[in-house]
Structure 1
Amino acid sequence: MPINETLAGYSDLAFRSAFLVYLLGFGLLISHYASKRVNAVEAKELVGSGPAVGLPGRIVEAPPKPLSERLGNMGVAVIVVGIGLHLASIVLRGFATERFPLGNMYEFVTMACAAAVVLGFGVLRGQRFRSLWVFLLPPVMILMFLAATVLYADAAPVVPALRSYWLPIHVTIVSIGSGVFMVAGVASVLYLLRMAQPEGAEGKGILGNLARRLPDAQTLDRLAYKTTIIGFPLFGAGVILGAIWAESAWGRFWGWDPKETMAFIAWVVYAAYLHARATSGWRDTKAAWINVAGFVAMLFNLFVINIVVSGLHSYAGLT
């Protein structure tokens, strides 16, 4: 199968451009995050000192938007551009190879990161959630950097074992579910950070300064729960469909291969989180720690199992 080198080059360029655009958006949102509280005070002062409203024949000028809000708006707009480039890199990779672009770890991580930022754009709407981009973008950019360096693979046909209609079904669902879990994991980490700051201690020390600009703990907990509710059935369906594919390819539904075993363990951990979240006495920090453990299991499965441990899924590693 011939490879369109031109489209493959454009795909790589779009991927690198998306990374740089995310980095620019991250810088703008960091500035938004740092200036958020100061500008809130300035805005109140402007409103309090403005001209009286309702005087006949007098035009009342609205106070200018605080710097924090302007920086946040620019940051989100830049992220939208980055999402467009990110998705373009995936589509171009598919056209360049004339196959579904999920044949190796580079492409899998690219898809998972795209799922995370697309979901982030969907759920992190409004001023109170905007600061969460500061914490979602770093893991996305770290994974993208690793994908473009350590995990990168040239555009090429997939190995014979992956030439199946199950590839776009199974791997797409698993990669999207992984991206959704990334958002849930970040939300749980921030929830734990918020809960670690006692009432009235916000602003004391580095952790206090980080926590004081975050939404309240219950909002973060609900965000983690709602996103896990989305990712859990997706990832579970991916595991089940993978078992069906295994029966077609290897003649058995389940063989305790290291990758499928670790994927099942991660799914069980997330099931434990949802159960704990609905159980009195566990629904606070204990449940959040289980959610974080689930995301750690996902990362362990992605990197350690794929790269270090050999098994039937080894062809999905650095090839």
Structure 2
Amino acid sequence: MNLLAAQTNEQLAHISNYLVYSAMAVYTLAFFAHCAEWTFGSRSKVARSAAALTSKPAEESVPAQGPAVSVRSASADGGTAVLEKPAPPKIVTRSASGRRGDLPDGPGAAGGDAQGDMYGRIAISLTVLAFLLHFGGVLTRSLSVQRAPWGNMYEFSTAFSMVAVAAYLGFLIAKKNIRWIGLPLVTTVLLDLGLAVTVLYTDSDQLVPALHSYWLWIHVSLAIICGALLYVGFVATLLYLFRDFYETKLLAGGKPGKVRTSIMERLPSASSLDKFAYRINAAVFPFWTFTIVAGAIWAGEAWGRYWGWDPKEVWSFITWVAYAAYLHARATAGWKGRKAACLALLAFACYLFNYYGVNILFNGMHSYAGV
């Protein structure tokens, strides 16, 4: 019976591998579909932001000192002159940063024209199919050893990218306009899975005794969910910087190239991206706090101490401090825009180092990388 069970587990582990490879193949097709959407989908509708800017003065203006009056003759052979009161002059408003008001989202932010929408729908359909295969790979990996499928870096990576895709599809189901994140998301998922199946791959096996706890389901699953959502905020922040520089150049009277304009007009406005990233990070922060607390409670049960300044614990706390500084700067000092974006990027870099750097470079109580 034990031999049969071991054989069944091995078969499930092989099925898991095949499903992950199949998911990677479909993600690749989704990547090309997203590329087609970004390349061909918005050619007829680019430069919307440029049009919005060129219709207004680039510099901040105020009404004239007095209303100008124009005279129009009623007829050519003499008649009563009519005094016309001109329309009030337009006042160009700017944001608190002193650079711009809210510009419109690019037309490609929600799919663009009919051609772009077709490519986008194909890409989303392929992403859904890839996600189902991906989910099947993670599930069969779990069933092969009858435990949570995140006991080493390979399993954590596959679960992390799966949750990131689930978050993206969840936003779409909730009618949130985040079609623009599809291309960077699929690209990242492919890189993550490629690294997982090559460098980080570990055979399906049982856990070390310290990990045999229900806290594995709570603590690590929360870490994966938080990381996936923080990744979504990271992408929004990174794209915000590109879009912000693009809008700044337009406001200064510059003319970006056609390729750059086509790409930037696929994105929401810089203001929309900034708000979206902030809301994601602010919503995730309490859960990341509980993740650290849950880890401390688990450490107390497993090792007899709640905090021991292990490298993983230290960098988890550093990540918490970085995101706390970001949220505090926005709430109290009024930091928005590029300064806040730099803090957010630094905070996510701490999260990445906490996962990859600490697990590979340092030895500690959390050394369960398996590589």
TM over 0.5: yes
Q: Does 1:8 align with 2:20?
A: no
Residues 83-162 of structure 1 aligned to structure 2 (within 5 Å): 83-124=131-172, 129-162=178-211
Unpaired segments ≥5 residues, structure 2? 47-112
Does structure 1 conserve the Cα–Cα contact (< 8 Å) formed by 2:42 and 2:262?
no
- CA distance in 1 between partners of 2:351 and 2:332 (Å): 24
Which residue does the alignment assign to 2:118? 70
Paired residue for 2:25, among 20, 38, 52? 20
Q: Which amino acid letter does the alignment assign opposite residue 342 of structure 2?
A: W
Q: Does 1:275 align with 2:328?
A: yes
Q: CA deviation at 1:203?
A: 4.0
How many residues get paired?
295
Which residue does the alignment assign to 2:284? 231
Change (3 A) 1:223 1:127: closer
* Residues 141-179 of structure 1: CA deviation (Å, up to 9, x unaligned): 211111111111111111112111111111111111111
Does structure 2 conserve the Cα–Cα contact (< 8 Å) formed by 1:29 and 1:134?
yes
Which residue does the alignment assign to 1:50? none
Residues 1-319 of structure 1 aligned to structure 2 (within 5 Å): 3=6, 4-40=9-45, 66-124=114-172, 129-197=178-246, 198-200=248-250, 201=254, 203-204=256-257, 207-314=260-367, 316-319=368-371
Does structure 2 conserve the Cα–Cα contact (< 8 Å) formed by 1:40 and 1:66?
no
Q: Which amino acid letter does the alignment assign opposite residue 101 of structure 1?
A: P
- CA distance in 2 between partners of 1:227 and 1:76 (Å): 22
Q: What SS does structure 2 have at the residue aligned with 1:157?
A: coil
Q: What SS does structure 1 have at the residue aligned with 2:200?
A: coil
- CA distance in 2 between partners of 1:189 and 1:243 (Å): 32
- CA distance in 1 between partners of 2:121 and 2:259 (Å): 26
- CA distance in 2 between partners of 1:275 and 1:20 (Å): 42
Q: CA deviation at 1:242?
A: 0.3
- CA distance in 2 between partners of 1:312 and 1:40 (Å): 55
TM-score (norm 2): 0.75
Q: CA deviation at 1:20?
A: 1.5
Q: What SS does structure 2 have at the residue aligned with 1:215?
A: coil
Q: CA deviation at 1:204?
A: 2.4
* Residues 21-51 of structure 1: CA deviation (Å, up to 9, x unaligned): 111111101110111222448xxxxxxxxxx
Deviates more, 1:244-253 or 1:267-276: 267-276
Q: Which amino acid letter does the alignment assign opposite residue 226 of structure 2?
A: G
- CA distance in 2 between partners of 1:209 and 1:96 (Å): 47
* Residues 222-268 of structure 1: CA deviation (Å, up to 9, x unaligned): 22122213322222211110000001111111111001110111111
Q: What SS does structure 2 have at the residue aligned with 1:164?
A: coil
* Residues 50-93 of structure 1: CA deviation (Å, up to 9, x unaligned): xxxxxxxxxxxxxxx72211110110011011111111111111
Q: Which amino acid letter does the alignment assign opposite residue 120 of structure 2?
A: G
- CA distance in 2 between partners of 1:202 and 1:148 (Å): 44
Q: Which amino acid letter does the alignment assign opposite residue 212 of structure 2?
A: R
- CA distance in 1 between partners of 2:258 and 2:204 (Å): 48
Deviates more, 1:188-197 or 1:200-209: 200-209
Which protein is bigger by CA-based radius of gyration?
A: 2
Deviates more, 1:123-132 or 1:107-116: 123-132
Q: Which amino acid letter does the alignment assign opposite residue 278 of structure 1?
A: A
Q: What SS does structure 2 have at the residue aligned with 1:13?
A: helix
Unpaired segments ≥5 residues, structure 1? 42-64
Change (3 A) 1:225 1:202: farther
Deviates more, 1:302-311 or 1:222-231: 222-231
Q: What SS does structure 1 have at the residue aligned with 2:302?
A: helix
- CA distance in 2 between partners of 1:297 and 1:124 (Å): 28
Q: CA deviation at 1:297?
A: 0.8
- CA distance in 1 between partners of 2:312 and 2:263 (Å): 36
Does structure 2 conserve the Cα–Cα contact (< 8 Å) formed by 1:203 and 1:209?
no
Change (3 A) 1:127 1:273: closer
TM-score (norm 1): 0.87
Using CA pairs below 8 Å that are at least 6 residues apart, which structure has the higher relative contact order?
Answer: 2
* Residues 171-198 of structure 1: CA deviation (Å, up to 9, x unaligned): 1111111111111101100001111112
Q: What SS does structure 2 have at the residue aligned with 1:317?
A: coil
Q: What SS does structure 1 have at the residue aligned with 2:203?
A: coil
